[in-house]
Amino acid sequence: MNTEETNQLKETVISVLKTIYDPEIPIDIWTLHLIYGVEVDEEGNVKIVMTVTAPNCPVAEVLPAEVKTRIEAIMGVKSVDVELTFDPVWDISMLSDEAKAELGLDGDYNYSATDFLY
C-alpha cells in the first residue's frame, strides 16, 4: 500500500469511528474525543488508542470490542489492535465544541465526568 492509500484507509477508519456511539451519551466516540490515536501502516494494520468516559464505565469492555469489530470490517484492513487507556483520564472538558453545543454545555460549567454521566 502506498502513502496515499494508507492515508485514505486512515480516513475511512476515522469515518467509521464517527458512526460508533457511546451508549450513554448520544454523541459519537470521535466527537467525544474518546479516540486518542489512529495509526495505519502500509500493510493495513490499524492501531487505535482510546478511552471511555470513566474507568468504571459499564461499556469499558464492550465499546473497544465494537470498535475492533467495525474497523476489521473495512476493506483493506489486515488487523486491528485497540488499546484502552486511562492516560489521560477523560473528562468533560475534552468534549469538542460540537459535542458541548449538542449537549447544551456551551459555557464553562466545571463539570467532571462523574457529575455529568452518573
Question: Once rounded to an integer, what is the mean pLDDT over residues 79-108?
Answer: 84
The residues facing 21 across adjacent strands are: 28
Q: What pLDDT score was predicted for residue 36? A: 97
- Is 68 inside any structural domain? yes
- Is 104 inside any structural domain? no
Write out pLDDT tens, residues 21-75: 988 888 899 999 999 999 999 999 999 999 998 888 888 889 999 999 999 999 9
* 86 pLDDT above the threshold of 60: yes
Range of the domain at 12: 3-96
* 116 pLDDT above the threshold of 50: no
* 92 pLDDT above the threshold of 70: yes
- Is 117 inside any structural domain? no
Question: Once rounded to an integer, what is the mean pLDDT over residues 80-104?
Answer: 87
- Is 114 inside any structural domain? no
Considering its fold, how many domains does the chain have in total?
A: 1
- Is 47 inside any structural domain? yes
Omega of the bond prior to 64 within 30 degrees of 0, cis? Answer: no
Question: Once rounded to an integer, what is the mean pLDDT over residues 86-109?
Answer: 79
- d(CA 82, CA 92) in angstroms, rounded, equals 22
- Is 41 inside any structural domain? yes
Q: What pLDDT score was predicted for residue 16? A: 98
User: pLDDT-derived band of residue 117, with 50, 70 and 90 as boundaries?
Assistant: very low
- d(CA 34, CA 109) in angstroms, rounded, equals 20
- Mean pLDDT for the chain? 87
- Is 115 inside any structural domain? no
CATH number at residue 55: 3.30.300.130
- Is 106 inside any structural domain? no
